[in-house]
Amino acid sequence: MLQTIKKIGVLTSGGDAPGMNAAIRSVVRTCAFHDIKCYGIYRGYQGMIEGDFVEMDARSVKGIINKGGTILKSARSQGFRTKEGRQMAYDRLKKAGIDALVVIGGDGSFTGAMIFNKEFEFPVMGIPGTIDNDIFGTTHTLGYDTALNTVVDVIDKIRDTASSHNRLFFVEVMGRDVGHIALNVGIAGGAEEILIPEEDLGLDRLVESLRRSKKSGKSSSIVVVAEGDKIGKSVFELKDYVDQNMEDYDVRVSVLGHMQRGGPPSCFDRVFASRMGVKAVESLITGKSNYMVGMKNDLIELTPFDQAVKGKSKINKELLRVSDIMSI
């Protein structure tokens, strides 16, 4: 392999996601395998500005493949949005002799990496880490599979209590801009309705659909709502509307929140993270830069950063139809 790169820095940025530690481990160990020094950068771009680096070797990442969160911590840096901040970060990297960067994060983190690459011609590679699965150019993002399994487990539990009390539950799941989590856990958890930002069902049609469910003999119902859904101002407004229009329903709301981002990564996410870390480091070694590593048809492939950032991640519309049929 062509090798001009001697020191690689790795950081996690934006919202954390299960599997980030497995990705850090993979980057560190792939560096060790190729005799390249590796530096962990704490607190994302903020740590880069402050020079908060630690040298890591293969043993520094022992026992973390199964841990949620990120040992390098994460942050959303305001400083890195400014030219002065990025200059300080560049100076810190140069001083430490770091020649290339692996950024594990979401599209905001990739935009930062892209600008940094353009301004300083600094080699960068991205690993998509977010539970939302909202990045173009990859069928999965790191942490998404784990979050799906976490949420399905919770919905199963909510179903137990919903059916014991003949209640209707609105379960709000994460997904600021996209409905991937809601759509998949809705089908897997047997939800009667799934509300996502991409489709505007409307309050009247929601009530109509719940009436139909009740008439068909269902005593309890679960409606999964993506946090970015636009029907109501909030999931509580949906509850109030249904309360007012369906007096025979006892309605409850469960907002799952940040528990969805925690916990041990699934087998899929651990393997995915390991594969992406290898690809990220080996791509940098062969002189590639400004790409995101991702998965397409079970192959680990590269997508140029500008495409990953500008492109829109789309839901699979077939799932909407499957959900409609399953909830008859």
The residues that touch ligand F6P, with contacts defined as CB under 6 A, are 15, 130-132, 174-176, 227, 261
**Shortest gap between Cβ of 108 and ligand F6P (angstroms)?**
10
Place of tokens 């909030």: 234
Neighbours of 318 (CB within 10 A): 8
> Do the annotations mark residue 227 as ligand-binding?
yes
- Report the alpha-carbon distance of residue 34 to residue 31 in Å, rounded: 5
- Min dist CB 46 to ligand F6P, Å, is 14
Strand 124-128 relative to strand 167-173, pairing: unpaired
Pairing of strands 37-41, 53-56: antiparallel
Consult the annotation and say whether 109 binds a ligand. yes
CB 7 within 8 A of CB 97: yes
- Cβ proximity to ligand F6P: between 5 and 171 the closer is 171
Helix (H) or strand (E) holding 168: strand 167-173
**Is 220 annotated as ligand-binding?**
yes
- 79 near 37, Cβ under 8 Å? no
Q: Is 115 annotated as a binding residue?
A: no
> Could you tell me if 142 and 20 are in contact, meaning their C-beta atoms sit under 8 angstroms apart?
yes
Q: Is 66 helix (H, G, I), strand (E, B) or coil?
A: coil
Q: Would you say 105 or 123 has its CB closer to ligand F6P?
A: 105
Q: At its nearest, how many Å lie between ligand F6P and the CB of residue 132? A: 5
The active-site residue out of 16, 57, 91, 132 is: 132
Task: Tell me: is residue 164 an annotated ligand-binding position.
Answer: no
Closest CB to ligand F6P among 109 and 290?
109
In 85-99, which positions are buried (b, 16+ CB within 10 angstroms) versus exposed (e)?
A: bbebbbebbeebebb
Backbone φ, ψ for residue 301 (5° rounding) = -130, 165
259 is in an annotated binding site: yes
Sign of CA dihedral 81, 83, 84, 86: positive
Is residue 132 among the annotated active site residues? yes
Q: Which is nearer to ligand F6P, 151 or 302 (CB)?
A: 151
- To which residue do tokens 């630690």 refer? 54
The pair of structure tokens assigned to 277 is 């870390």
Q: Which is nearer to ligand F6P, 126 or 175 (CB)?
A: 175
Write down the least CB distance from residue 72 to ligand F6P, Å: 16
Nearest residue (beta carbon) to ligand F6P: 15
Q: How far is the CB of 293 from ligand F6P (least distance, A)?
A: 19
Q: Count Cβ atoms within 10 A of the Cβ of residue 241 and give its class: 0-12 exposed, 13-18 middle, 19 or more buried.
A: middle
159 is in an annotated binding site: yes
26 is in an annotated binding site: yes
CB of 279 to ligand F6P, least distance (A): 23
Q: Which two tokens stand for residue 232?
A: 């109501």
Residue whose structure tokens are 């810190």: 92
Strand partners, 102: 10, 125
Q: Which is nearer to ligand F6P, 15 or 40 (CB)?
A: 15
**Residues at the annotated binding site for ATP?**
15, 76-77, 106-109
By annotation, the residues acting in catalysis are 132
**Residues at the annotated binding site?**
15, 25-29, 76-77, 106-109, 130-132, 159, 167, 174-176, 190-192, 218-220, 227, 252, 258-261
**Residues at the annotated binding site for substrate?**
130-132, 167, 174-176, 227, 252, 258-261
**Residues at the annotated binding site for Mg(2+)?**
107
